Amino acid sequence: MRTQVAIVGAGPAGLLLSHLLHTRGIDSVVLESRDRSYVERRQRAGLLEQGTADILRDSGVGGRLDREGLVHEGLELRFGGAGHRIPLTELTGRTVTVYAQTEIVKDLIAERLSAGGDLRFESEVVAVDPSAPSVTFRKDGRTHTLDCDVIAGCDGFHGVCRPAVPTLRTFERDYPYGWLGILADVPPSTDELIYCHHERGFALHSLRSPTISRLYLQVPHDEDIARWPDERIWEELSTRFAVDSGWRLKDGQILEKGITPMRSFVAEPMRHDRLFLAGDAAHIVPPTGAKGLNLAVSDVTMLAEALVEMAEIGSEALLDSYSDNCLKRAWRAEHFSYWMTTLLHTDPSENAFGRRLRLSHLDYVVSSRAAATTLAENYVGFPL
């Protein structure tokens, strides 16, 4: 078997890369270890920078996004019993859109299959060869080899592609807390996301649709989900979100719940020979800044342009600069995500002095237009 680009992983990064290459006449094969049903059910982030939404629209897969996505022009920082709106669009001229990653994956799978794309689910990649580029995978009890010109490692943090880079350097930070996240069958209690700092810990009110809410609580990183029955979750959310204005949190049936640890991680370089890493295979951000999916989209957009340049005019200039260009953007997102995380969460090891510094910083962000603009322009994302 042979293709131009072998793509490992059918998450949003791998699927979007395959789609972008198809629109420019470049063949690819996508290999995914899980079955299609599992891939289409995975719950992940759901906040799109304007640049990400524009890429999906411009490439022809934004129809349902435009019909169902919730466009936001601001967000709320809540602390000290009061809410403070950050007017994202007024400060930057850009917006963000709430549209679940699960739906993006469904849209991309449907598009690739309708266009005759080669998506191979339940195909476990066991080895990649970056030098004489090929991918070895198992499917239906048999081992196969796929020869190619380039390998795109879009197989996430636990995939096989990153370990195939021999000169890899990694940088990471683990946080002493995690997020207890719920998906609830209840209309959102807000029109825009609420990021809340409370002495008991961080809370986030997000949205999935006009009838479904997504909410999060800061908990210890090793917390046992069994300690959080539904009643306790709603009580704690109401306590942390409470404001003097009388605003009330709506509660309802919890459809899903789980605990996610928080980590910052970057691998350098993102290329070795004919293997190129993208998305979570190369970098992980804590979810506070909503950058993980958006970084993956920017990675594969740059990789697609580089591969098109190589195919059309024989130049590898963009391929040679791919890692540096992606890492520059990744480190900016890492810093913003770290800043948002440490600003809004309660550190269990922190003393009273540190807590007062955090409140002072929050007050500065909501009272200074310059500080609010810094938050806003990072949050809505920088153009590619």
In angstroms, rounded to a whole number, what is the distance separating the alpha carbons of residues 251 and 242?
Answer: 14
Residue at 210: amino acid letter = P
Active site residue 106: no
Residue 92, pLDDT > 80, answer yes
What percentage of residues in the chain have a pLDDT greater than 90?
A: 94
Supply 293's token pair: 């999916």
> Which DSSP string corresponds to 263-326?
EEEEEE-SEETTEEE-GGGTEE--GGG--HHHHHHHHHHHHHHHHHHHHHH---HHHHHHHHHH
Phi, psi of 338 (to 5 degrees): -65, -45
User: What residue spans define the domains of the chain?
Assistant: 5-73+95-171+264-340, 175-262+349-380
222-239 pLDDT, tens per residue? 999 999 999 999 999 999
279-327 pLDDT, tens per residue? 999 999 999 999 999 999 999 999 999 999 999 999 999 999 999 999 9
pLDDT (mean) for 37-51 = 88
Residues in a beta bridge with 253: 185
- Look at residue 88 in the predicted model and tell me its pLDDT: 98
| Residue 252: CA count within 13 A, CB half-sphere | 14
- The yes/no answer on whether domain 175-262+349-380 falls in CATH 3.30.590.10 is no
- Look at residue 44 in the predicted model and tell me its pLDDT: 72
- Look at residue 238 in the predicted model and tell me its pLDDT: 97
pLDDT (mean) for 103-109 = 97
- Look at residue 97 in the predicted model and tell me its pLDDT: 97
Active site residue 328: no
- Look at residue 197 in the predicted model and tell me its pLDDT: 97
- Look at residue 62 in the predicted model and tell me its pLDDT: 96
Among 22, 72, 197, 272, the one annotated catalytic: 72
Active site residue 379: yes
Band (348; pLDDT cuts 50, 70, 90): confident
Active site residue 72: yes
- The yes/no answer on whether domain 5-73+95-171+264-340 falls in CATH 3.40.50.720 is no
Q: Is the pTM of this model over 0.85?
A: yes
> Which DSSP string corresponds to 259-277?
EEEEEEEEEE-SEETTEEE
- Look at residue 195 in the predicted model and tell me its pLDDT: 98
Among 12, 130, 286, 287, the one annotated catalytic: 287
Among 198, 283, 291, 345, the one annotated catalytic: 291
Among 195, 197, 205, 345, the one annotated catalytic: 195
Active site residue 99: no
* Average pLDDT score over the chain: 96
Q: Which residues contact 158 (CB under 8 A, 6 or more apart)?
A: none
Neighbours of 266 (CB within 10 A): 19
